[in-house]
Amino acid sequence: MQRVLLVCGVLAPLVHLGMDRLAAKLLRGYSPAAQSMTELGAAGSATRSLVVTLTLAATVLMVAFGIGVWRSSGRAVLPRVVAGLVMGNAIAGLAATLWFPPRFGERPAFGSPGVILMFLSVVFFVLAMVIGAVAFRGWFRILSIAIPASYILLAVLRYASAAASGGNVPMLIGAQERTMAYSWLVWVMALAVRQLLSVRKGL
C-alpha cells in the first residue's frame, strides 16, 4: 500500500501534463505560450469538462501521494510539512477550477476567490520545495534549491529585458505559467522516486 501511494506521485504529474497538452490542442485558436492555463478550464470553454475531469483525477492521485509521503516520513516533522503542502497545492487548484473558474476570454479580477486560490497553490508548491531542500539531502536537496532559484533568475531576466526594451517585451503568460507548473510536477515526480527508493532500502 505504501508503494502504491508513492507511485501516485508519478502518475499525478503525468495526468496533469497530459491534460494540459491535450486540452491546449483541442481548444481552437489557443496559444500555450501567450494564454493562461486557466483558460482551458474557464467557464464557457469547450475543454472545461475535460479539464475538470482530469484535474479531479490528478488531485485524488496527488492527495494519495501526499498521504504516502506523510506515512513514509516516520516522526520527522519537515517531511510531513512537505506532504501537507503538496496536498494543499492540489486541493487549492481543484477548488479554483471547480467553483471559481474565470469566464472564457476574460481576465479574472485581481482579488477574486479563484485568483486567491491559485495564488495559494503557488505559495504551497514553492514552500514545499524550499522546505524540501531542508528536509531532504543529496541530489533531491540540490533540485529543491535549483528550481526556486530558477524562478528568481527568470523573473530578473524578464524585468531586465522589459526595462532594456522600454517595456516592449511581450507578456508570454502561458509560457511563464507552464515553466513554473511543469517544473513543480517534475519536482513531485522526483520526490516520489526518492521516497520509493527510501522505502525499498528500508525493506
Confidence at residue 108, expressed as pLDDT on a 0 to 100 scale: 77
If one counts the domains in the chain, the total is: 1
DSSP 38: G
> Can you give the residue range of the structural domain that contains 8?
2-202
List the grid coordinates of 123.
505559495
Q: What distances in angstroms separate CA 182 from CA 45, 73, 85, 132, 185, one per listed residue?
A: 22, 25, 17, 17, 5
How much is the pTM?
0.90
Give residue 112's Cα distance to chain centre.
Answer: 20
Reference 184, options 141, 133, 157, 148; nearest CA is: 148
Cell numbers representing residue 194 in the block: 526518492
Q: In the prediction, which pLDDT does 120 show?
A: 95
pLDDT at 163: 56
pLDDT one digit per residue (tens) for the chain, 203 residues: 899 999 999 999 999 999 999 999 999 999 998 888 999 999 999 999 999 999 999 999 999 999 999 999 888 999 999 999 999 999 999 999 999 999 987 887 778 899 999 999 999 999 999 999 999 999 999 999 999 999 888 777 666 665 555 555 556 788 888 999 999 999 999 999 999 998 777 54
**Distance separating alpha carbons of residues 138 and 39, to the nearest angstrom:** 38
Residue 8, C-alpha cell as written in the block: 501516485
What pLDDT is stored for residue 165 in this prediction? 56
pLDDT at position 199: 78
Gap between the Cα atoms of 114 and 93, Å rounded = 9
Q: What one-character DSSP code corresponds to residue 11? A: H
Q: What is the pLDDT of residue 20?
A: 96
